[in-house]
Structure formats: structure tokens, C-alpha cells
Amino acid sequence: MTGAVGTAVRDGLARARDAVDARDGRLARPLGLWAFSRVLILLCVFKIVVIPGPDVTSDVEQIYQGWYEVLRTGTYPLDDVTWQYPPAAALAILSPALLPFLGYSSAFFVLALLCDAFVFGLLVYAGRRPGRSMRGAWLWLAGVPLLGPTAYSRYDLMVTAVAVAGLLAALRSPVVLGALAGFGAALKVWPVLLLAGAARGRAAFRSTAAAAGTAAGVLLACALAAPGALAFLGFQRDRGTEIESLGAMVFHVARHFGWPGEARMNYGSIEFLGPGVKAVSTAAMLLSVAAFGWLLVWWWRARRRTTGTTADAAFVAVLLFTTTSRVISPQYMIWLVGLAAVCLVYRASRMRRPAYLVLWATAVTQFEFPVWFSHVGDSDPLGVGLLLIRNGLLVAATFSACRILWRQTVVEPRLEAAAGPVRLPAQSDAERTPVAVSSSS
């Protein structure tokens, strides 16, 4: 008996060890691919491998480092119209000081790598839990290198790390979601959209209160620490239609029919200037307002929630406001890749199609910027074609994601309620009486 028990224990331990080895083997492949792809990105940002087109690291080496020097004096860049970010963005710009043994640019790239690793680690950890999926980790693994060195040359990856952490914590703690959404909003505004999927009632109140309190506290601390914390509001308000946005397609085509405007550097990006630009910019803002209205209607009418609804709604909200924005800079794609990856962690999410559309749009974005950005600036067939594909994929992803969210949370519950419980037809006494079967028949 004792020998049988010992054998059973040894067999159980062997099976457990084999299971652990199998899991570790499955994990080794994505970890290896992550390391390989990120080495390639580092080779690009350190200019060991040169990507065609404009130098994407110039923002870090010139603009960010210039802001860093100003911020170190105890003030925000009051006279620089390219400073268009909330005051907590100063933390990201100053973060290379954490690695004083490296130069500014090198430290920034290393910190971007660490944030990338942090997001990947969160997605792997969440994806390996029962009832979850590793698809989110795979999407992130592919999406960042598809964007190329731009991913490590902007502080958007740091903001995305905050957003991903908040969404993955949402099911356990609405307060943590709210606090990280508020902090993220103080970094770059858009993470406030994480609250779009908060369930009505107590959870929504707690997450919203935490977001408001955190954002207010951070803004107050920044305002007290240095003058000019809110200067970004005026600079952001005066922006026009950037040449990569959806609205800019009007002028790319109009240039071939004699439109007299021009594309040049304005408020930190290349924008169209000329007749009709203000009208298109206003239309873009009206579309954003309409998108906000649709989100409110959805939030009020949603009747069913799954484990993935909070992430799905946040993904839809950011898709809506990115697509309708006057500016669709390449780094915006990292936001969408991060939120799409969180959606795919949850098996209940149906956002696979829009997530993959975003992944394809990210791949096209690297060719639009930096590889063939000169063609975009010239509005030639190649440049216009790239923008049509990238922006078309974003529009398709937006409509698809909105339709999926609405159907899953509004339409299907209503149809199920209208159908009512399934009832079997009543049976007669004869039908309920079993019939004996003769063995001779």
C-alpha cells in the first residue's frame, strides 16, 4: 500500500514537472522573439542600423533634451509652442535623469525599453492566468517593432504602460483603474478614456472619483512646483490639420486640382495651411464631439458586461478619438496596440478583428513615417496611397469595434430579453407514461 502511494506521488510530481516544463517551453519562444525584435529597435535608435527617411530620434535628441534643460531650471517651456502636453509630461521628459551614467538620448531609449518590457510582462502574466489568453502578449510583441524606432523615440510608450496597467487592474480594483487613468491623463490626456467602460453605479463612481482626485493632485503639485504648468492649453488649441490625419486627405487630393495652400511646419508638426483648413479642423472637432455623444449613449444603454467590456470600451473610445483627431501622429498607434492587446487577453472579448486591423495599420504607418514621409509631404500617389490605406484601416477598425461593442452589450441582451425563457410544449398523460416494449416484438 505504501509503495502504491509512493508511486502515485512520484507520478503526480512527474506530471506537475512536465506541465511546468511545457509552460516554460511555450514561454521561451515569445520571450526570445521579444528580445530579438527589441534588439533590432535599439540598433535603429542608436543608429547602428539606419532606417530610410527622416531621423525619428531627433525629437529626443533636440526637442525633449531642450525641454529637459528648461525644466531643470524650475519652469515649463513658456515660450515654446511645441510644448503641448499636460504638466505631468515633465516627469517623462525628466526621467532620463534616473540614469545619470548615460547621455540623455541613451537613457531615454533604455527607459523606453524597460516600459516595453513592463507592458509585455503584464500581458504575459495576465494571459497565463486561467480563462485568459496569450494573444494580447503576442499582439504587443508584434506591434511595437512594426511601428519601428518611432516607438522608442516618443514618450507615448511610457503613457501606454500606465494605461495597460490600469486596464488590467480594472476587474479587481476600480480605484486603481481610476487612479492610473487620472495620472495618465495628467501625462497625455487620452488615458482618461479608460473610464469609458466603467460600469454604472458604485464602480463608476469610485473609478471616476479616483481619477479626478489623482489628476487634480498631480496638476496642483505641478503648478506649485513650476510656473507655466497650464501653458499647453493655448498651444494645443491653436493646432490645425496635420498632414497625416483623416481630414488632411481632403487637401492631399485638392493639391492635384490647384488648391493654393501649403504643407509646412506649424506648432511642432507639418500641417496644411490655406483656404478651407479651418473648416476641416472644425469638422474634425465636431466629429470628436459626436463620438463622445455615441459613447454616452452606449454607456447608458449597455445592459450586459463581460470580463472584457472595460477594456473593449476603452479601446473603442481611443479608436474613435484617434480617428477623428486633427492629428494622427505615428506614435498614436502605440496607444491602440496597447489597448488592443489588453482586449485580446480576455477570451470574452470579440475585438480580434479590429485589433488585427490596428496591427496592419501600424505596419503601414512605418512606411508612411519615416520611410516614405517625403512622398506624404509632396502628396504624390505613393504618399496619398499609404495614407489612404493606413487611415482606411483605422476607419474600418473603428466601425468594426463600435459595431461589436454595441451588439454584444446592447443588441444581444435586448434580443434575449424579448425572446424570453425557452419553454417546452406541455405533454399529455399518455405522452408522459413510458411504453413497455415486448421482447418478442
Q: Give the pLDDT band of residue 439 (cuts 50, 70, 90).
A: very low
Confidence of residue 211 (pLDDT cuts 50, 70, 90): very high
Quote the pLDDT of residue 254: 94
Please determine, for residue 11, whether its predicted confidence score (pLDDT) is greater than 70: no
Q: Is the pLDDT of residue 17 over 50?
A: no
Mean pLDDT value of segment 143-156:
96
Q: Give the structural domain span for 67.
A: 29-412
- What mean pLDDT is predicted for residues 199-216? 90
Residue 436 maps to a domain: no
Does any domain span residue 432? no
Q: Which three cell numbers stand for residue 61?
A: 535628441
Task: Report pLDDT digits (tens) over 54-95.
Answer: 999 999 999 999 999 999 999 998 878 788 899 999 999 999
Can you give the pLDDT at residue 10?
53
pLDDT at 436 over 50: no
What is the overall mean pLDDT for the chain? 88
Structure confidence by residue, pLDDT tens digits, 103-123? 999 999 999 999 999 999 999
**Grid cell of 173 as nine digits:** 480594483
Residue 441 lies in a domain: no
pLDDT of residue 15: 47
pLDDT of residue 397: 98
SS3 229: coil
What is the per-residue burial (b if ≥16 Cβ within 10 Å, else e) of 103-120? ebbbbbbbbbbebbebbb
Share of the chain above pLDDT 90, in %: 72
pLDDT in tens, 352-373: 999 999 999 999 999 999 999 9
On whether residue 424 sits in a domain, the answer given is no
Q: How far apart are the first and last CA of the chain?
A: 52
pLDDT of residue 309: 94
145 part of a folded domain: yes
Whether 262 is covered by a domain: the verdict is yes
* pLDDT in the model for residue 335: 97
Q: What is the structure's pLDDT at 314?
A: 97
Q: Give 227-265 pLDDT, tens digit per residue.
A: 877 776 765 555 678 999 999 999 999 999 999 989 988
* pLDDT band with cut points at 50, 70 and 90 for residue 267: confident
> Quick one: angle between helices 352-366 and 381-406, nearest 10?
160
* pLDDT at 7 > cutoff 60: no
pTM, full prediction: 0.88
* Residue 23 pLDDT exceeds 70: no
Predicted confidence (pLDDT) at residue 176 exceeds the cutoff of 60: yes
- Is there a domain that residue 426 lies in? no
Q: Is the pLDDT of residue 438 over 90?
A: no
**Read out DSSP for 13-52?**
HHHHHHHHHHHHHHHHHHHHHHHHHHHHHHHHHTTSSPPS
d(CA 278, CA 336): 27
> How many Cβ atoms are within 10 Å of 425's Cβ, its own excluded?
5
14 in any annotated domain = no
**How many structural domains comprise the chain?**
1
